[in-house]
Amino acid sequence: MPLSSEQQAEIAAQRSETHTTMRATAPGMEKHLYTAYPVLDHGFVRVVDYMGDDEAICQAARVSYGRGTKSVQNDEGLIRYLMRHWHSTPFEMCEIKLHVKLPVFVARQWIRHRTANVNEYSARYSILDREFYIPAPDALNAQSVINNQGRGEVLEGEEAQRVLKYLTEDAMRAYDHYEEMISQDGQQGLARELARMNLPANIYTQWYWKVDLHNLLHFLRLRADAHAQYEIRVYADEICKLVADWVPFAFKAFEDYRMGGATLSAGALDVVRRMLKGEEVTQENSGMSKGEWREFQGILG
């Protein structure tokens, strides 16, 4: 992960400072604060700030005056109840602010999550670094033959080498021209806001991304899922680890009800009831389409 020694020193300085506060802090999150965790070849995720903890969710649900009078077991039970019944607003009382470095094509998927606050590095004002995402050989896959929106087998041999060569050389060539165009050495120098259009989508950008816990869990539900593209999933996986340490009860309930759980339609539920009565149900007599039946079988394992 390409953090300069100055950037590392800034992070270390931030981590060496402590402040006294009356606010609740989450010990699990304090240990991660400001640290940059590597993702992909040049990216990272780091927590810049956060607000709230498991208790804050319970306080909000109870609209209590103080820390609340209930036991830890009651807190966990309450959080599970809230998660189970989609009582989501107490989760919105927790917030997290992340600093993320990510390839532009990943940022395009990420920015679709509209419920966050974003401030991105300005390529009108600043010069982008010569940093491009080049997939590791085991993440360089062929187009899937069963899923139009997915990957199949890993590319091999000469084809893999050629693809990696193109990705690297094209990125470097585009960056060379970018640098040449903005240079003010013996010429006017093209505006950075224009020159950047020549850069490929695997160049890295950075942003501050602030979101509440409810919407973060929605993001993680979609992006830490096996159907999400690998390059955004690895960021979501890293964030999952942070959230697990920040709000352990909420994250456990999320894993149980959302990540590991499933929603059944009325028709699917009817099929389960018929199966429990010993009836032999097939796709043909289930009332489900082939696709629905396949997904239903996937849920039942």
| Residue numbers belonging to the annotated binding site | 89, 109-114, 120-124, 196, 212-214, 218, 223
Name the residues annotated as catalytic.
Answer: 223
Q: Which long-range contacts (CB under 8 A, 24 or more apart) does 75-79 make?
A: 75/249, 76/249, 76/252, 76/253, 79/54, 79/249, 79/250, 79/253
Site for ligand FAD in 98-117 (CB under 6 A): 112-115
Ramachandran area for residue 31 (φ above 0: left; ψ -120 to 50: alpha; else beta): alpha
How many Å apart are CA 103 and CA 24, to the nearest integer? 35
- Relative orientation angle of helices 213-223 and 230-246, to the nearest 10 degrees: 140
**Site size with ligand FAD, rule: CB under 6 A:** 9
Closer residue to ligand FAD in complex, CB, 110/204: 110
Q: Which of residues 199-218 bind ligand FAD (CB under 6 A)?
A: 215, 218
Amino acid at 96: I
110 versus 175: smaller Cβ distance to ligand FAD: 110
Q: Does 141 bind ligand FAD (CB under 6 A)?
A: no
Question: Any contact of residue 147 with ligand FAD (CB under 6 A)?
Answer: no
Nearer to ligand FAD, 88 or 283 (CB): 88
Three-class SS of residue 58? helix
Phi, psi angles (nearest 5°) of residue 103: -65, 150
236 part of the interface to ligand FAD, by CB under 6 A: no
Residue (111 or 154) nearer to ligand FAD, CB: 111
Is 169:202 a contact under the CB 8 Å cutoff?
no
Asked if residues 254 and 83 have their Cβ atoms less than 8 Å apart, the reply is yes
The verdict on 144 binding ligand FAD (CB under 6 A) reads no
Site string for ligand FAD, 55-94 (x = CB under 6 A): ----------------------------------------
Enumerate the known binding-site residues for FAD: 89, 112-114, 120, 212-214, 218
Q: Which residues bind ligand FAD (CB under 6 A)?
A: 112-115, 215, 218, 222, 227-228
